[in-house]
Structure 1
Amino acid sequence: MTSLRRVFGTLVCCSWSFASLAQPPQEPVNKILANLNGSLKFSVKQFKGTDLISQQIFGRNSSLQTNTGTWNLQLKQTLVPGHPEAVDISASFKIEAGTAQSSAVDASFNFSQWNPDNYVLVPASVYNGNRYRVIGNGYNPDYPKDMYYNPSVPLSISNNPRLSIEKGMVSTVQLQTGNAATPAMCFFSEKEKKGFIVLTGQQTRLGNNGLTISENAGKDSCYFGISAPAVRKLAPGFGDFHKSGDLAPDWKTGDELTLRFRVYVFNAESIPALLTKFMEVRKDLSGPNHPRNLVPMSKMFEVVSTITRGRFVQVPAGSYYLPENNNDFQLGWVSGMMNTYPMLALNDEKERKQVAAELDFVVDKLQGKSGYFYGGITAGGEIRPEKMHPDFKPVQAMVRKNADALLWFMKHLMLLKTQGHGNIIKPAWETAAKKLAAAFVRTWKKSEEFGQYIAPETGEIAVYNSTAGAIVPAGLALAADYFRNKEFLNVAADATRFYYRRDVQKQGLTGGDCGDISQDANSESAFGFLESIMALYHYTGDTQWLKMAEVQAALCATWTISYDPVFPENSAIGKLGSPMAGAVWASIQNKHAAPGICTASGDYLFKLFRATGNIKYADLIRDIQHAQAEAVNMPGHITTDNLIGSSMERIQPSDAEGKGSIGNFINTRNSWTETNGILMAMELPGIYLRPESRKLYVFDHVEAKILENAKTWTILSLRNPTDYDASVSVMAETEKQAGNPLNYTAFVNWPKVKVKAGETIKVKINKAGVASLL
């Protein structure tokens, strides 16, 4: 079969058919693949540059004769004990005689009865095959006119690797393992009620492996390929593509290489079943990662709060803490009214007054007539419009920023009351927050969604679709409790069910809540939506929300690096030896990971861990916290070449910005990464203990173990291996207490244990959770 195919916008000639690639069954892997009408083949590919010029396939025996050499394949297949749905594969390729120029070895899974409705996932790169309308060819493209004030606008994304939505076109996704949060390819078949996952390693001695998904023009055949090394025609950038610069190596007699991977084929009723299975197995091949204890949470709080203290300004527009690296103010998303929360937690009179001044400023200068807020303002006092089209007025603002504004407004008010400072809460603050909640309710009742961009003057949705309103239900749930308004909670529940059904269940993605992407799938909406689901559980106690939360946490895990990537030795991360499992990928457009969640502590993962007992949720947030610390600029651990305690948003395992960018930090600072670090230091306990069951989990950069456990007390050994003195928060509770939702300001009352750098101490924790030194 000869056809024209489009590879990332470029038409090239391609001749192949799955029938011609057939080979004899290979047990036991083909036994499980048969459930999906699939088979596994191995081949040697020869290239001219990045053009494939030949592919020769191993047949019945283990030998392959080419024009220039003789290859041998040693194949080992092992059923995974206790997992009949999983097979470990070790494929060792060796050229026993002769040579091979510009060649790569390949393992591919061929599915001959493919359905284009299958949900296809490559963690952090491809969601639902990225089969969506594409706009622009570059970073943060402008929206076309037809996307404005159009309730039927289709989900629209940037120019990313994707399977085509057009009929009669071959489409190919070419990635390397550095493009994925976990080196894996997955799909769910609704027709077969089956899921497929293949996990592989990051690299071999030849460099990063390649991940290829290619669908024929008839969309009834598809293959998933793993190659060593990656040889892509084009490398994906930030909403565009560039020449990959990949080269296949020359082989000489005796050269050999082993590809290892694990294959799962399992029963699955839905996309959520695939997601939860993925979270269960995502570390099974790579094994446990090894986070380092570098900076205690208390030290993180100290150094970042010191930065923020010095960034309060009074400019013509008003008084506020500087959000980023200029004097303009931006609400929510990455900055304003988020970095104030830790400053309020200091319980310091000066900072409290400054936080109050910022709240005054936000209410006075940014709230529109509808109740919605504008997204930003210049230092001179000029409102900053967002994603505007010249043909439309009035000024627009991000729904995401308004969602953040509501959530953090409520958290500020709750914290002030917990601290005993409720008397300073101004009626204007409460009125503004209530008006914002009411605006969301009106929008929901009118449109049954929150949209992506709104007009604060009129309250109209300017751009529909996406999961930009992911955090809205959380804000509404908190506001419902604070203002004793059941309608707020009812809308929060209805909206959560809607977004879960439309976006998570049916599409396996959430997206569109960032100001610098289109409606692309992204991590921020995934984590933000988990915040909302857990807020519903908090205020209702209904376990339906827990079930949704477990699926959503699995979606979050697809965005989080699951293993410790190998970075170039001479890169900044390589020189520091930083294990980066836990770094969180941004979006399918912005192809890099970041230190932490934008912008939150992720305490909802800890709350999910408490509610379910599933340690994978604790592991996930601990990984995120430790990766964040690896990016923090500290003496002897220079990352930003900036202020001590500063950090930036770029951890780059991919070559999206060029091969020279892999593993190198950007020498700047981003306040949101600093803010999420300090929020984790606040809202996550350093040590979590359930004495009755002897369950102990350590989130902080210390080591702890149970020495003695009696009915009314527990003695812990606590060691601080870092270079900094630590004040470790301890949360101890009974099994019964763990069944109750955790108060949003519970951290205020956690006892602290001081342990000096390098010191080991004994701590006695009594029934009430009070800690004392022995």
Structure 2
Amino acid sequence: MCRIKANFFLLFLIIVTTSKKSFSQLSDPEMNRMLKQVSGSITFLQRQYNGTNLVSENVFRSKELPGAWQLALKVNPVKESSDVVDVNATFRLTAGQVASATVAVKFDFSNWSAANYVLVPASLYNGNRYRSIGYGYNPEYPHDMYYNPQVPLTISNNPRLSIENDKASLVELQTGNMATPAVCFFSPAEQTGFILLTEQQTKWGNNGITITEDTHKDNFSFDISAPAIRKLATGFGDFHLSGDKAPDWKAGDEVSLRLRLYVFKAADIPALLTKFFKIRKDISDNSAPRNLVPMSRLLELGTGICSSNFTQQQAGNYYKPENNNDFQLGWVSGMINTYPMLSLNDEKERKRVSEELDFVVRRLQGKSGYFYGGIKSNGEIIGEKMSHDFPEIQAMVRKNADVLFWLMKHLLLFKESGHAAMINKDWEEAAKGLATAFVKTWQKNGQFGQYIAPETGEIAVFNSTAGAIAPAGLALAANYFNRADWLKTAAAAADYYYKRDVAGQGLTGGDCGDISQDANSESAFGFLESLMALYNYTGDHKWLSMAEVQAALCATWTLSYAPVFPPSSTIGKLQSNMTGAVWASIQNKHAAPGICTSSGDYLFKLFRATGKSLYADLIRDIQHAHTEAVNMPGHITSNYLVGSSMERIQPSDAEGKESIGNFIHTRNSWTETNGMLMALELPGIYVISDKAKCYVFDHVKVTIIKKDNRELVMELHNPTAYDASVAVMSETTLEAKHPLGYTAFLRWPKVPVKAGGKIRVHISGKDIKW
């Protein structure tokens, strides 16, 4: 076997032809060595179709065979590493014409096990190898899911590997279904990880990824095809005819499938996730995010919209969470959008926030201490995930976790902004009651469940990671009320979720009201909030280590590249760079502008604590993708107000091919809320003064003009069409070792920079001048 040595560049070029029903394979010694570690092999294919029905499949053989198809294969080592190679397979038709044809690279794995963890970012987590229910969006729960501690994790009808004995698996996807076009797995038996990165498309359109597993679950394969040809495309919990069509080839047509293959030692699922986070952009076109609208302008517009949505209804007085007068608590903005309004330090808005908090604790808290999830404008309580068999009103555990976390943040902000006297003791009592309810549930059940009965406190639906943010709320409450026992429960719950869900299954899920217990991004980001809260209040680096793994899981949900959208689509016409858009869930197959509902400042805190720019890059990407979706003059994304936005960034055909790249012309207040929160809780520029380094989150450019022991001088350039007020946070390396509080943003100076203008900022220790 040919071995690659240091400073040796391998170029392996093969020109071959095809013949029907020929099964010998062509490869490369180094690639074979890597694949052998996972009992893998590689094959190069040409196929013909009638519609979406496969008519013939040809396997590339030796170069001596005559024929019109050629394959040029290049296999190159990457950075002299022993665990990664680049594979470039160029397929060419040299003569004649071939109708309805595709080409593909196929990987086969023998000695496979159903115990292997399979990841396709934003599509498959642990292979989605779970019980499935329903056919369509937000299916009803069967009787056996209620009040049943033994309920298995249950998902909607999504692409998945089978859990049934003697049932083969077929998963048909295209790259638009993925946050990163990749197939990954971890083998516990081999203690090995595998990651295959590919590109979105060729000239024929999006590539396809088809996964199969045999009935005995001991053989597994997947192929990358150009283009995607699926019988069925996946929707929101259902499937529909794909409408895919194989292209007609003529002499001279060629396409290249570019792949990067990693095979590496991995002790567990976290090792695979952290490896993926580091390399997920390795073959992407990593164009810089566009500077469109300063964060301060987004905050100004968002708070203006929110202020105009304050309403007085029969039920009470509140900021409308969505597009009607009913009130939904937590999750999609209710009692979350109040936080940026409180931060304005405006007397009118401060009074309105107080009115909403009064309304929430007066009308929505049940006897157990838990809260109901919503109320209609006429005062009728809204039940969630109800069943006629169990008429007792239920509420989402996730919403209750949001209430505890955000109520505590409001109390802190009232105090830190100098308005502690306005705190109503009923708010504090409500927070105590809710924290106590969570602790009782934990002590009784060893979990928080997915749905709760607010009157009794009983778990109505068990399982899932719906309480992902509950440890954060308990940690804040424990510190505020000096309750060490609550912090102990927070730590125990976070440890449980990490071991069972993150390390044990490589997923978190079930905390959205419109999915089942599906893997989703919101629980992933919410759990990161909890881990960083525990680090904040304990200083224990155990939580920081877990947070690094959790951030890697969050990254699997976030677009790592800028998808190519149809030129005629809205996003295509705007030429938006949607790197950083966050996928919703394995059921709701679309990306969104931001995290529902959070600033993601815990990623900034993780960056600060570790010095690793991966975390800063991730939240910067998320913020800039959000801005790409904001409705602005000359950048129309909705038919609503300037500064509004909506929740659909659609790279896939889950809602039909016509939906790709087109916004739905509505607005979602939660996307506006997370935009305000990012503008509020992330610094525009973060400076490590003693190292003369800075990281820019805002839509400005920074040039370091001078740096010495006395001062750092930066020039800020605002290339946008809007005046900016840029928050600058400066500290030393030593100061960065200490956790950052939840109201630190109150102390960040704001540097004004006119549209198109420049200004110099002088930083000397804590002193910032301009």
TM-score (norm 1): 0.96
- Residues of 2 paired with 1:136 and 1:98: CA distance? 48
Partner residue, 2:622: 624
Identify the range of structure 1 (307-316 vs 54-63) with the bigger mean alpha-carbon deviation: 54-63
- Give per-residue Cα distances to partners, 1:304-336, cap 9 Å, x unaligned: 100011111111101001110000000000021
Pair 1:251–1:545, CA change in 2 (3 A): same
Provide the C-alpha distance between the structure 1 equivalents of 2:632 and 2:570, rounded to a whole number of angstroms.
Answer: 14
8 Å CA contact retained: 1:597, 1:676: yes
* Whole-Å separation in 1 of the counterparts to 2:55 and 2:634: 50
Distance change in 2, residues 1:390/1:698 (3 Å): same
Please name the residue that 2:56 is paired with.
Answer: 54
Match of 1:221 in 2: 219
Task: State the alpha-carbon separation in 2 of the partners of residues 132 and 290 from structure 1.
Answer: 39
Corresponding letter in the other structure for 2:525: F
1:20: Cα distance to partner? Answer: 8.0
Identify which of 765, 768, 771 aligns with 2:768: 771
Instruction: Name the residue aligned to 1:558.
Output: 556
For residues 138-157 of structure 1, the aligned pairs below 5 Å read: 138-157=136-155
SS of the aligned residue for 1:262 comes to strand
Q: Per-residue CA shift, 1:700-728, capped at 9, x if unaligned?
A: 00001211123242100100000000000
Question: Is the contact between residue 63 and residue 72 of structure 1 (CA under 8 Å) also seen in structure 2?
Answer: no
**Is the aligned partner of 1:541 residue 2:539?**
yes
Instruction: Give the distance between the partners of 2:744 and 2:63, measured in 1 at CA.
Output: 65
- Counterpart of 1:353? 351
Corresponding residue number in structure 1 for 2:8: none
**Most deviating of 89-98 and 593-602:** 89-98
Where in structure 2 are the equivalents of 1:375-774 lying within 5 Å? 375-768=373-766, 770-773=767-770
Partner SS state of residue 25, structure 2: coil
Query: Residues 277-317 of structure 1: CA distance to partner in whole angstroms, max 9, x if unpaired?
Result: 00000000114232100000000000010001111111110
Asked if 2 retains the 8 angstrom alpha-carbon contact of 1:64 and 1:72, the reply is no
Task: Give secondary structure in 2 for the equivalent of 1:679.
Answer: helix
Larger displacement relative to structure 2 (82-91 or 298-307) = 82-91
Question: Cα deviations across residues 530-552 of structure 1 (Å, max 9, x unaligned)?
Answer: 00000000000000101100000
Q: Identify unmatched segments of 5+ residues in structure 1.
A: 1-18
1:117-156 equivalences under 5 Å are 117-156=115-154
Separation (CA, whole Å) in 2 of partners of 1:353 and 1:211: 54
How far residue 99 of structure 1 moved from its aligned partner, in angstroms, is 2.4
AA aligned opposite 1:95: L
Q: Which residue of 1 aligns with 2:43?
A: 41
Letter in 2 for 1:374: Y
Gaps spanning 5+ residues in structure 2: where? Answer: 1-20
**Shift in Å, 1:764:** 0.6
Residues 448-501 of structure 1, C-alpha deviations (whole Å, 9 max, x = no match): 000000000000000000000000000000000000000110000000000000
Partners in 1 of 2:57 and 2:608 — Cα distance?
52
- Contact 2:22-2:59 at 8 Å conserved across structures: no
Shift of 1:25: 4.5
Judge conservation of contact 2:174–2:209 (CA < 8 Å) in 1: yes
Residues 64, 744 of structure 1: alpha-carbon distance in 2 compared, 3 angstrom cutoff: farther
CA distance in structure 2 between the aligned counterparts of 1:390 and 1:578, rounded to whole angstroms: 46
The normalised TM-score by structure 2 is 0.96
Cα distance, 1:611 vs structure 2: 0.5
* Correspondent of 1:188 among 182, 186, 189: 186
Query: Structure 1 residue 268 and structure 2 residue 257: aligned?
Result: no
Q: 2: distance between equivalents of 1:119 and 1:476?
A: 32
Match of 1:30? Answer: 32
Q: CA deviation at 1:27?
A: 2.3
SS in structure 2 opposite 1:84? Answer: coil
Q: Is residue 593–residue 629 contact of structure 2 (8 Å, CA) maintained in 1?
A: yes
Contact 1:702 1:721 in 2 (8 A): yes
Q: Distance in 2 between matches of 1:318 and 1:258?
A: 61
Cα separation, partners in 2 of 1:226 and 1:64, compared to 1, 3 Å: farther
Q: Which has the higher mean CA deviation after the structures are superposed, 247-256 or 667-676?
A: 247-256
Match of 2:79 among 64, 67, 81: 81
SS of the aligned residue for 2:360 comes to helix
Partner residue of 1:211? 209
The residue that corresponds to 1:176 in the other structure is 174
Aligned pairs for 1:249-268 (under 5 A) are: 249-268=247-266
Q: 1:62 touches 1:72 (CA, 8 Å); kept in 2?
A: no
Contact 2:638 2:667 in 1 (8 A): yes
Q: CA deviation at 1:64?
A: 6.5
| Paired residue secondary structure (2:485) | helix
Secondary structure of the corresponding residue to residue 37 of structure 2: helix
CA contact (8 A) 1:148 1:462 kept: yes
> Does the residue aligned with 2:98 lie in a helix, a strand or coil?
coil
Assess, with a 3 A threshold, how the Cα gap between structure 1 residues 734 and 64 changes in structure 2: closer, same or farther.
farther
The separation in 2 between residues aligned to 1:315 and 1:463, in whole angstroms, is 32
Report the alpha carbon displacement of residue 109 of structure 1 after superposing the two structures with TM: 0.9
Name the structure 2 match of 1:15. none
Q: Which whole-Å CA distance do the structure 1 matches of 2:145 and 2:307 have between them?
A: 42
SS of 2:119's partner is: strand
Q: Deviations over 1:329-360 (max 9, x none)?
A: 00000021100000000001110011000000
Q: Which amino acid aligns with 1:196?
A: F
Report runs of 4+ in structure 1 exceeding 6 Å deviation.
Answer: none
Shift in Å, 1:168: 1.2
CA distance in 1, matches of 2:662, 2:96: 40
Kindly state the Cα deviation for residue 199 of structure 1 after the two structures are TM-superposed.
0.5
Give the superposed CA RMSD. Answer: 1.1
In 1, distance between residues paired with 2:469 and 2:745?
22
Are 2:197 and 2:280, in contact at CA under 8 Å, matched by a contact in 1? yes
Q: Quick one: which amino acid aligns to residue 596 of structure 1?
A: G
Cα distance, 1:667 vs structure 2: 0.3
CA distance in 2, matches of 1:745, 1:240: 44
Q: What SS class does the counterpart of residue 626 from structure 1 fall into?
A: helix
User: How many residues end up aligned between the 2 structures?
Assistant: 750
Equivalent position SS for 1:83: coil
The residue number in structure 1 matching 2:10 is none
